[in-house]
């Protein structure tokens, strides 16, 4: 399978659909949020920097994030395709990803954009807060994450459009339908 960049607001289902895609196509998966939460758990230097920013709903600096991404990517088995979940989140990260992949003779593949209304996103994340207790899943931090998404990440959609790889899927109230639409598209790439 080609590489896939899964893109969308907090709670749009990047992680959920990535798991389904991995099950179907057997590819690698990098969730930069999960990588950072792993660093926090270990109490590493990166984890200390990340905790403070994640708890405030802010982004980790691009240069650090790009280094983490390259290290994680190079540690995965090559040739099966990778889903990038939560990366890139800024134009600078997107440029760096494109270059990093080019240097390795790979390409970005396709971008899968998930569009979900904000009321649904908030409901999902507050529900997850009760189940998983993620530190950034409280109403105040979620609002900050939405703000950061709109100001820093959403403009990237146009960047992918220019690259000719943007494919948008809009939530219409059914997970099965959303997944069927995504699979119908990805099946054409195999
Ligand atoms: P990250 O972990 O990536 O969080 P996020 O983008 O806020 O997204 P979430 O993981 O909350 O949601 P999701 O889209 O994966 O949805 P999910 O499938 O879980 O990043 C966290 C932080 O790390 C950032 O704020 C930043 O500080 C830092 N960071 C990470 N990457 C960075 C980068 N590249 N640069 C700088 N900083 C970075 O679904 C949400 C919930 O909804 C789940 O509980 C799910 O079960 C439920 N759900 C209910 N119905 C559905 C449905 N129909 N479809 C999908 N999910 C559903
Ligand atoms: Mg996630």
**What's residue 78's pLDDT?**
86
| pLDDT tens figures, 82-117 | 999 999 999 999 999 999 999 999 999 999 999 999
Residue 57 lies in a domain: no
- Please report whether residue 37 resides in a domain: no
Name the average pLDDT for the chain: 97
SS (HEC) of the chain: CCCEEEEECCCCCHHHHHHHHHHHHCCEEEEHHHHHHHHHHHCCHHHHHHHHHHHCCCCCCHHHHHHHHHHHHHCCCCCCCEEEECCCCCHHHHHHHHHHHHHCCCCCCEEEEEECCHHHHHHHHHHHHHHHCCCCCCHHHHHHHHHHHHHHHCCHHHHHHHHCCEEEEECCCCHHHHHHHHHHHHHCCC
Residue 54 is assigned to a structural domain of this protein: no
Probe residue for ligand 1, chosen from 16, 20, 136 as the CB with the greatest number of ligand atoms within 8 Å: 16
Could you tell me the residue range of the domain that residue 166 belongs to?
4-30+82-187
Report if residue 182 sits inside a domain. Answer: yes
pTM confidence score: 0.97
Residue 62 forms part of a structural domain: no
Q: Output the ligand 1 site: residues, CB below 6 A.
A: 8, 10-16, 32-33, 36, 53-54, 57-60, 65, 86-87, 89, 93, 124, 128, 136, 145, 175
Residue 65 lies in a domain: no
Number of structural domains, the chain? 1
Report the separation in Å between the CA atom of 9 and the middle of ligand 2, taken as the mean of its atom positions. 10
- pLDDT tens sequence across 113-139: 999 999 999 999 999 999 999 999 999
């Amino acid at each position: 399978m080609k590489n896939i960049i899964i893109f969308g607001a907090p709670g749009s289902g990047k992680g959920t659909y990535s798991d389904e895609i991995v099950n179907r196509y057997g590819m690698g998966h990098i969730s930069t949020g999960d990588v950072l939460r792993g660093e926090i758990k270990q109490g590493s230097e990166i984890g200390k920097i990340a905790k403070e920013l994640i708890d405030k709903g802010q982004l980790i600096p691009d240069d650090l994030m790009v280094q983490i991404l390259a290290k994680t990517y190079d540690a995965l088995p090559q040739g099966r395709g990778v889903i990038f979940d939560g990366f890139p989140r800024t134009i600078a990260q997107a440029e760096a990803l494109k270059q990093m992949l080019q240097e390795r003779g790979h390409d970005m593949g396709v971008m899968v954009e998930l569009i979900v209304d904000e009321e649904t996103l908030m409901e999902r994340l507050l529900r997850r807060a009760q189940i998983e207790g993620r530190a950034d899943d409280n109403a105040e931090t979620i609002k900050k994450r939405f703000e950061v998404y709109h100001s820093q990440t959403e403009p990237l959609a146009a960047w992918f459009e220019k690259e000719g790889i943007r494919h948008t899927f809009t939530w219409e109230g059914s997970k099965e339908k959303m997944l069927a639409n995504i699979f119908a598209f990805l099946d054409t790439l195999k």
